Structure 1
Amino acid sequence: MDSLELDDLCSHVNSKISIIKKTLQLRHIGQEPSLRNVLSKVAYELHLLCGLLNRAETEVQRQETIAKSLKELQMTLERDAKEVSHISDNIPPHLPKKCPNSNTVPGEEPPVEVKVIAPEPAKKPVKEKHIKEMELITVQEFANVPAYMKNRLTYEQINHLIEDFNKAVVGKYKIMHQPLKSLNNVARKQLGRFKEEETADTKGLFFIVDQDIKDFTQVKVDKRFHGMLSILRHCHRIREQRGKGIVRYVVC
């Protein structure tokens, strides 16, 4: 046998002997009075550490719940702000004025009668046709979505998709509601496609197709996009209608 191989064998045997000695020493470590106090302190510190970790986990969960509630509150406030802004921008120009009191105090001049001139009837504005949009999903709805549908998707990503989806719906139906003469060449081509995609079953419905997502948003129509649509179907925000080789996403 080569001397190098013999040295390696000896080194290996000595290493195993050393491990066996340490193992035998550790077997009796709990019986030595000098080490019992150390082991007790280690066990106590581990117990305290576990308690701290449990409290930290509880606090993290509480903060996540608060963050979700604040997100919902923010969305509610944004909707209320839009409604207030709309009301402020549409205050009637002529409001009824308070008539002066007919009772006058002796020694005072009677109030000057103010004649209120009725305003000329304004031309009736053209009423915009209502376009149905999707409502954002709530935290509770997202929590009830099966895990296999969510994958790594988040609550915020789904609501961002809903906003883009609504953008495409509004963009499409604004073109459909405009007079043909007011449309440019691109919009006229889109209008032709919109009408070709209509069927007897889509009358009165609001829907878009993949091409509308591409035309009116920056969203990529890929596997991830269609995975997010499955969540919207589960939450009853959209339903699919097929025909003429086209998949239509109908707003519920």
Structure 2
Amino acid sequence: MSNQRVAIVTGASRGIGRAIATTLAASGQAVVVGYAGDHAAAEQVVEEITAAGGQAVAVQADIADEDAVAGMFDTAQRSFGGVDVVVNSAGRLSLSPIADLALADLDALHRTNIRGTFVMAREAARRIRPGGAIVMLSTSIVGLQFPGYGAYAASKGAVEAMTLILAREMRGRDVTVNAVAPGPTATDLFLDGKDQATIEHLAKQPPLERLGTPADIAEVVAFLTGPGGRWVNGQVVRANGGII
């Protein structure tokens, strides 16, 4: 047990977070499957991991609630002995022109994406063991600047800023801190509300001429949190097939 790495992955009940959780588990890490509300989906992830011979436990937590986040880290400590990897994949998306966005929607988005990321980063900085890795999820929309994504891109710009500063603040701790910024990725969240023509148009944008998959993003996270990624620190990795 002492040599096993332990990962906390938020937003792990579906989409990119789920792929990250199962990929890290397949590499031999024990995984805390963090989720906001869908208990059944989170338990399915745990079952998938354990059926493959891995170790996992599901923990419900609002990442913007510091007590809930502390409890998630407590569970990792109690169940597996500590925390070596923290991946914050939980996030909220609101699409609207800036002129039309309700401020209540802006506040809800920023509560999850900015405050939630900060709370996760703060707890990770306090508790992660030497040799550990922290990865925050941003978005390539920060650079693509698609209309309708103003509030979302602004929140993820904040995620990138605090991630890169945390990397410098962890000096002397032997902990890497990076962000991964996916491009258009074929998740339920991304595909919802888009017609086939829009999806096909977006898929043609990268030189590789396809949408990303959750597995594409999970493999980047696995590299950054594994032994091969130890010299990558304080970076934003734009995993988007070359779209920008």
Q: TM bucket by the smaller chain?
A: under 0.3
| Structure ranking higher in strand proportion | 2
Q: Normalising to structure 1: TM-score of the pair? A: 0.20
| Structure ranking higher in helix proportion | 1
Q: Which has the larger radius of gyration?
A: 1
Q: Normalising to structure 2: TM-score of the pair? A: 0.20
